[in-house]
Amino acid sequence: MLHPFEYRIRQDIVRAALPVGGSRLLLGVSGGADSMALLQVLAALQNDLSCTLVAAYIDHGLRPGETPDEWSCVRKAAALLGIECARLSVDVGAIAAAERLSLEHAAREARYRAFAELAGQWSTDLLAVAHTADDQAEEILLRLFRGGGGKALAGMRMRSGHIVRPLLGVRKRELLAYLADKGVGFCHDSSNDDRRFLRNRVRLDLLPLLESAYDPGVRAALLKTAANLGEDEDLLESLLAEQWAAAVEPYSPDADGPGACRLDRAAFRRLHPALQRRLLERLLWQLGTPARYRQILSLLAAAVSGQTGSELHLSCGLRVAVHRDHLIFSFPKGQGPWRGRLT
């Protein structure tokens, strides 16, 4: 018989139409409370959902004193549940130095690259991660600090491409109660106490302050805001999908190299500004270049009122040539930095 918490997660999976049933899932399991709960829940639902699980532990190389206990915790729990287990080590410090990233950013990049490598090795369809409602509240505040728009403030989704988040609707305290009921142990990641990291300060200092001094329901309010914006985002995405083909078409003569496309300026001008920004953001991501706010504004101005013959130089070697009726996005010398005009 399913534990009430397991039944609730099953209902959340069904309600969100997560494509878990019949899939092979790679589970990100760090040994912490959240991911150990994810492992236990999906193991309990494995037969019901006809899915196959592989527990994946990523060693970031940052806490060598804690890694053996974490790996042991994950490996033993997976063995008890009859689930395959995999481990992969990455050097986050080297990645941060080589790519000039913060440790937080480098750890995230390295982790998802490692998950992608393991997904290939184990032929899994989806990656399940253990983000909770508390993580969502923290993420919304962090995105607000960065000046995110509606799409950013909608927060994480239960499904983002091949990533699923079955625990996104539950609070940490509920998860801990479930682990206690099941008698499941877990490890504590000491880096979560390090206030040098902004996310930790938000979790340890800012959110408790907002709850105690301003509004005890601030987490629920943040989650409600994200849910409402998420519904708006779904509508905008469907509207954009209807207009995409009229505004964007492939454009790949040999001279422009791979990945080039053409944006019809007249069709673009007819779009609502919210859809214009969204289209440009998606276009940049599809071309493999960062969709930064300033770049989007520059492209918006070029598409609406840019002078014929002008040109924008964006990151990763992307050039945008302004013509009377359209913009041409291309990589004349491949996807890499270079200087100089097209003509």
Domain boundaries, the chain: 4-221, 251-330
The sheet that has 326-330: what strands, in order across it? 248-250, 261-264, 326-330, 319-322, 311-313
Q: Which residues pair with 264 in a beta bridge?
A: 326
- Class for the domain spanning 4-221: alpha beta
User: What pLDDT score does 133 carry?
Assistant: 97
Architecture of domain 251-330: 2-Layer Sandwich (3.30)
DSSP string, 270-295: TS-HHHHHHHHHHHHHHTTS---HHH
**Contact assessment for residue 308 and residue 343, using Cβ atoms and an 8 Å cutoff:** no
At 319, is the secondary structure helix, strand, or coil?
strand
**For position 333, what pLDDT does the model report?**
74
Contact 74, 169 (CB under 8 A): no
Predicted pLDDT at 149: 82
Predicted local confidence at residue 256, as pLDDT: 46
pTM passes above 0.75:
yes
The confidence score (pLDDT) of residue 338 equals 57
Contact 226, 155 (CB under 8 A): yes
pLDDT at 315: 83
Name the strand (E) or helix (H) holding 265.
helix 265-269
CA separation for the pair 2, 191 (Å, rounded): 34
Instruction: Look at residue 70 in the predicted model and tell me its pLDDT.
Output: 97
Mean pLDDT in order along the chain per 10 residues (343 residues): 96 95 96 98 96 96 94 97 96 88 89 96 97 97 89 93 96 97 96 94 97 96 95 93 93 60 95 94 88 90 94 88 94 69 55
